[in-house]
Amino acid sequence: MSGTQSGTRQRRSGNHVLLLDENLCSLDIAVTLRQLRGWSIELHSDHFEPGADDVSVVTLCGERGWALVTCDDMRYAPETRAAIVRHRVRIFKLTIGRETHGVMMASMLVIAQDKIIDLLRKNRTAFCAHILRNGTVQIRTRFEDDKGFTDSQRRTFRKYGTFDGS
């Protein structure tokens, strides 16, 4: 089900592709998530060696039009932030504690699936959203400020979530 060539076909049919970052790269999580319609799941380990830098991961997601699911705060590193903006990557960060295990992370994503898909459908520019334990999804960072948008464009983007900015 996972494979680079199938990703293009699935995107055209309305499916969204999510790459699970290295810290979530578990077959247990992937098997659960792959059973749900509306998205396709890719694993970091299928595309990168362990320890791959965040810029490379973000770049691949941007080039393929994939969203990234992670537990990292990668949006603060200047090189990574620039890659996120340049490639319009949409990031979902799971907010977890040290005791959180794979089953709980998978359940967070299952509960949040409709909200994730809705955000992906409405937003074509880069953002970072947090997924809370109860499945709540909140956009924490919109990167439109990095592109020099006017205040009017930012208000439109926040209200409708579909401003492309290109």
CA-CA distance, 40 to 2, in Å (whole number)?
7
Domain spans in the chain, listed from the N-terminal domain onward:
4-160
Q: What is the CATH number of domain 4-160?
A: 3.40.50
**Rounded mean pLDDT, 43-58:** 95
Q: Which one-letter DSSP state was computed for residue 45? A: G
Per-residue pLDDT tens for 3-47?
Answer: 444 444 333 335 899 999 998 878 888 988 999 889 999 999 999
**Rounded mean pLDDT, 76-104:** 86
CA-CA distance, 33 to 53, in Å (whole number)?
25
pTM of the complete model beyond 0.85:
no
Q: Which one-letter DSSP state was computed for residue 14? A: T
Task: Tell me if 111 sits within 8 A of 136, measured CB to CB.
Answer: no
Residue tagged 């990168």 (tokens)? 48
What's the burial of 34, exposed, middle or buried (CB within 10 Å: 0-12/13-18/19+)?
middle
